[in-house]
Amino acid sequence: MDQFSFGMEICDGMNAEARAIKRGCDVVFALLGLIILSPFFLVIYVLLKHEGQGPAIFRQERIGYKRKAFYILKFRTMKPDSERDGQPRLAERDDDRLTPVGKFLREHHLDELPQLWNVLRGDMSFVGPRPERRYFIDLIRKENPDYDYIFMMRPGLTSKATLYNGYTDTMQKMLVRLQMDLEYLQERSLWTDVKIVATTVSFILKGKKF
């Protein structure tokens, strides 16, 4: 897959009206999700506290819409000292830092459930590029400064890159993910989002790894 040329003009495929509808849907469905899935939140919280590997909820700074920093929420899946040397490290599919409960949550994408709160707050959307840490953004921008276009969108719970590019554990995968996210920005529509969400749910129910 060819990379975008540096500095090319990229336009948002969604107009202002579509973006407003998208945001309204995010609020409604995030609120419903938090209410309906609250029993699962409680069960997962109890399991993580029983495991005793630190706080059940993990918070980490990410850079989102219009370069605004926010704290992404996840159920803890890794040991508290997973970055003991202070050096940011990419997650891997079979990461040896995962706890037993954390590995199960990661495999079934249940660790992402607290991000419904991020969606409700407006930090994120259901569909959009996955939010990244500043450290890795700086590395990606050295390879392709078109990453700046990503800040035109709210980061998302899922995306085409999430579904089809797998874990971004190498720079090459990061650059492929960037291209896929830029393509989404240019082509996105409400119908595109519906299809991505439907595919994500289908993959999860079928137990497909992504």
Tens-place pLDDT, residues 116-159: 999 999 999 999 999 999 999 999 999 999 999 999 999 999 99
- Ramachandran assignment for 105, one of left (phi > 0), alpha (psi -120 to 50 degrees), beta (any other): alpha
Supply the pLDDT for residue 7.
54
**Dihedral sign for Cα atoms in the order 74, 76, 79, 80:** positive
DSSP codes of every residue in 107-172: HTTGGGTTHHHHHHHTS-EEESPPPB-HHHHHHHHHH-GGGGGGGGS--EEE-HHHHHS----SHH
181-206 tens-digit pLDDT: 999 999 999 999 999 999 999 999 88
72 beta partners: 60
pLDDT classification of 5: cutoffs 50, 70, 90? very low
Supply the pLDDT for residue 1.
35
From CA 66, how far away is CA 97, in angstroms rounded?
32
From CA 103, how far away is CA 115, in angstroms rounded?
18
Identity of the amino acid at 176: V
pLDDT classification of 113: cutoffs 50, 70, 90? very high
47-102 tens-digit pLDDT: 999 988 789 999 999 999 999 999 999 999 988 776 666 667 666 666 778 899 98
Q: 92 in helix, strand or coil? A: coil
DSSP codes of every residue in 43-54: HHHHHHHHHTSS
Question: Does residue 30 carry a pLDDT above 50?
Answer: yes
CB 64 within 8 A of CB 150: no
Q: Which two tokens stand for residue 128?
A: 């959009």
Give the DSSP H/E element, type plus range, for residue 25.
helix 16-36
pLDDT classification of 2: cutoffs 50, 70, 90? very low
Q: What pairing do the DSSP bridges indicate for beta strands 156-158 and 125-127?
A: parallel
pLDDT classification of 4: cutoffs 50, 70, 90? very low
Residue 75's φ and ψ, nearest 5 degrees, are: -75, 135
Q: Which position has the token pair 């119908």?
A: 191
144 beta partners: none
Length of the chain: 210
